[in-house]
Each structure stands twice: as C-alpha cells, then as structure tokens.
Amino acid sequence: MIAGRFPENFLWGTATASHQVEGGNHGNDWWAWEQVPGHIKNGDRSDPACEQFERYAGDFDLLRSLNQNAHRFSVEWSRIEPAPGQFSAMALAHYRDVLQALRDRGMEPLVTLHHFTNPAWIAQAGGWDAPETAEYFARFAQRVTDELGTLARSWITINEPTVIAYQGYLRGDWPPGRRDLGAAARVLVNLLRGHWMAYERIKSRHADLQIGLAHHLRVFDPARWFMPQDRAVAAAFNRVFNETMLKSLRLGRLVFPLTRAGRASGPRQSQDFIGLNYYARELVKFNRRYREELFGERVLPAGAPRSDLNWELYPDGLYRTLRSLLREQLPILVTENGIADAADAKRPEFLLTHVGAMLRAIQTGVPVRGYFHWTCFDNFEWAEGYSAKFGLIACDPVTQERRPRPSARLYAEICRLNGLPATVELPPAPRQPAEPAGPADLR
C-alpha cells in the first residue's frame, strides 16, 4: 500500500480546453473542420459542448464542492482576436470574470493560451506551417497576459505541440488534414518559435508569471525485448516524440531531427515548470511497411487493461515518465491524465493507481506540484465527438444535465485528504522491464 500525504499546497483540479467545453466557438479552424462529413464521429459538432461559456460559475461551484483547489482551462484565441490585431474587449472581460470566479472560490487557475484551435484567419494564412503564426501567437499571448496576468500566476503557452504536428500534419485526421512529414517538422519548429517568442515577451513584462508548456509524453517500449530492431524503433520513438521538444527548450536551439526542418533559436531554459500530459504506453514493433512512422507499428500488449478508446492503462508509465523528467530540474505539474470510460468501471482504479504512481515518484524526490485530471465533464473529444467519455462528471450535451460519477466522489476524497484513502490497497507496481526504454535519457 502507498501511504503518505502529498506536499502541502499541492494543487488538485481538473483540466479542460475552451473548444471542448464552451460551445459557440464558430470562428476557429476546428469548427470549420467539424462541418465536413466524416471528420467527426457520429457527425458531432462542438456546439453546444458543455455550454460552459455561460455555465462556468455553477460548474466551478460543483468542482469546489468536490474539494478541488485548482482548475486548468484555456482561453479561446478566436474569441479574443477574431480578426488580425483586433482584440475583443468583451471576450477579455469574459475571461476576467472566469478567472475572478475561480479566485472567489479559492481555486488556483492554470491558463492555457493555445489548446489546438486557431482563429480561422490564422488557418487561412497557413496555420502553423506559416512562420508568421509564431509572431501572431506571441502578440496574442502578450495581450492576454497584459490584461489578465494579475489574476493567474501560471500559464501554459501551447498544449501538446507534438500532437498538433502528428494529428494535423502527419496522420491528417485533425485540421488542416495534411499528411506530409516535412510539414509536420516545420510545424514543430514554428510551435517552438511561438513558445520562445511568447515566453520572452511575457517574461519581459511580467517577470513573476510562471510559464510552461503542456507536453504529451507517452511511454514507448519494444514489443519484443529480444528483438534489436524493436528496441531501436522504440528508442527512436522516444527520441522524436518525447525528447526533441524538451531538449530544444532546454538548450534554446533546435536539435535533430528538427534541425533538418528549419533554423530557429530561443532563450535557454524557457520553461518555469514542466506541464505533463500522460495517458498511456505503446509497444512498438519493427515493421518495414511503416516507413512513414519510423518503421514502428504500435501494438497493444496482449490482455492489457484498456480504456474505451483502447489506450493501455499503464500507471507505472506515469512513474517512469516523472522519473525521467527529474533531469529537467524544474517543478512539474501533471496537466492532464485521465481515461475514456463511459461506465466508470475502470476510472476508480485508474485514479488510485495513477495518483499512487505520482506519490511514489514524489517520495523519490520528483518535484510534482499538482495534478489536473482530464477532465471534469464529458465534453467534445475532438474527432471522437461526444462518444469518448472522459468526465468525472457525466454531462449530457442535449439536456446539459451534470451527473457526478462515483469516481468524482473518490477524487473528491483524494483532494480532501491530500493523499490516498487509507483503506485502499494498491496493486504492486508493475514490474519494470529489464531494460526500461522510458521516456529515457533526455540529456
């Protein structure tokens, strides 16, 4: 059993993104994408989502009643800057009210500036494949922090750069729907530039603000440890997907393979904390036919527990990832971690084992400062529409009824105790593979 409490002032909350919960976001590239048949499961659209643009105060009351002391959400760029250089006083006032509502309830805000959606005018000008987008983003980031910086101390510039590049430019199943390795690499470079420029602008004006990025890190293990080719592709996946961005940010320059996609540099150490989004592990098998994917076919371990989306449930991956981040020597926030589980059959154990893995990591000295479960309310899950249910609280997009699932109560108990309930027996930590492939050595 994992005993012990989390450090004092540990942040416990949930995470959301504007487009997934607000409703009414018709001015961005995702809304346009949703209008095309076949893009979103069941033809779903992000309107009405959770109608949180109107319902945020009641929703925050509910989260506060469940003992959460923090909340991560994103501001919607297309509302704030609907046309180039034209900032909406109304939209900024709205997010000021949202932040004030959190403060009034004693909940620490964590604000994301970019969570996947781009204003339509940015998409029309080439999206993140266009170098100017980084400058537009920095201008937006500056304006928002100038207006709202006194209400929130911690900010995330960009959510999951690697996922944006992979889904939008390599797989092509998110906007802008391209399948072009060169474009994916350029997009990563421009996202890095966007972060660097935003970081410098914000810090020069508001030195006290804490600025980070939310990184999606997965564990890639070889499907067959005895096969050198599998080990090689797993190592390549780790390098490209988990390490390149972190290392570039640490050094203030591009590292291979990004060096082949452009030239850019920025300040060294341009993160004040690491945001970690952790969901799953994947096993990688060498396969000649998977040229576009570094010759790696991703497979599920036989008999592995999995979510409704078939993602492997692998709490030890959170422990291993947190351990690997020790090298960054920065405070860490777990900015997302959750499970699609409509029946709420596996979520309670998911919560206990992942919070337990995080506690184990803290006990070995990893400086984790907070945990934001993905997510509070079932919402618009991108290409999965409303079919994937990630909420601690069910939310019906038709009736807008909110119904806490049993795991909402369990999470409330964890938040209240600032630790795991004493009665909980955790399964033993999964055995470490003989040669952990980790998200391994980041230096």
Q: Which residues bind ligand FCB (CB under 6 A)?
A: 17, 20, 159-160, 163, 216, 277, 336, 374, 381-382, 390
CA distance 271 to 144: 18
Pick the catalytic residue: 160, 282, 328, 349? 160
CA distance 419 to 356: 9
Token output for 272: 């004040």
Quick check: 187 and 164 in contact, CB under 8 A?
yes
Return the number of the residue (146 or 384) whose C-beta is nearest ligand FCB: 384
Pairing mode, strands 332-336 and 70-74: unpaired
Pick the catalytic residue: 34, 243, 336, 381? 336
Nearest approach, Cβ of residue 277 and ligand FCB (Å) = 6
Return the number of the residue (286 or 411) whose C-beta is nearest ligand FCB: 411
Return the number of the residue (128 or 382) whose C-beta is nearest ligand FCB: 382
336 catalytic, yes or no?
yes
297 catalytic, yes or no?
no
Return the number of the residue (11 or 17) whose C-beta is nearest ligand FCB: 17
Nearest approach, Cβ of residue 200 and ligand FCB (Å) = 25
H/E stretch holding 317: helix 315-325
Pairing mode, strands 210-222 and 296-299: unpaired
C-alpha dihedral (157, 162, 168, 170), degrees to nearest 10: 160
Return the number of the residue (17 or 366) whose C-beta is nearest ligand FCB: 17
Return the number of the residue (25 or 277) whose C-beta is nearest ligand FCB: 277
Nearest approach, Cβ of residue 407 and ligand FCB (Å) = 16
Burial, 102: exposed, middle or buried (Cβ in 10 Å; 0-12, 13-18, 19+)?
Answer: buried
Residue sitting closest to ligand FCB (CB): 17
Return the number of the residue (163 or 299) whose C-beta is nearest ligand FCB: 163
Q: Tell which residue, 290, 304, 307, has the closest CA to residue 237.
A: 290
H/E stretch holding 194: helix 181-205
Pairing mode, strands 11-15 and 70-74: parallel
Nearest approach, Cβ of residue 15 and ligand FCB (Å) = 8
Nearest approach, Cβ of residue 390 and ligand FCB (Å) = 6
Nearest approach, Cβ of residue 160 and ligand FCB (Å) = 5
> What phi and psi, each to the nearest 5 degrees, are found at residue 424?
-85, 125
Return the number of the residue (315 or 419) whose C-beta is nearest ligand FCB: 315
What is the DSSP code string of 236-278? HHIIIIIIHHHHHHHHTB--TTGGGT---B--SS--SEEEEEE
Return the number of the residue (160 or 243) whose C-beta is nearest ligand FCB: 160
Q: Tell which residue, 430, 320, 325, has the closest CA to residue 369.
A: 325
Contacts of 65 (CB under 8 A, 6+ apart): none
Nearest approach, Cβ of residue 297 and ligand FCB (Å) = 21
Nearest approach, Cβ of residue 216 and ligand FCB (Å) = 5
> 72: left (phi > 0), else alpha (psi -120 to 50), else beta?
beta
Nearest approach, Cβ of residue 443 and ligand FCB (Å) = 26
Contacts of 243 (CB under 8 A, 6+ apart): 439, 440, 442
Terminal-residue alpha carbon distance, the chain: 33
Radius of gyration of the chain (CA): 20
Sign of CA dihedral 79, 82, 85, 87: negative
Q: What string of H, E and C letters represents the secondary structure of 110-149?
A: EEEEECCCCEHHHHHCCHHHCCHHHHHHHHHHHHHHHHHC
Catalytic residues: 160, 336
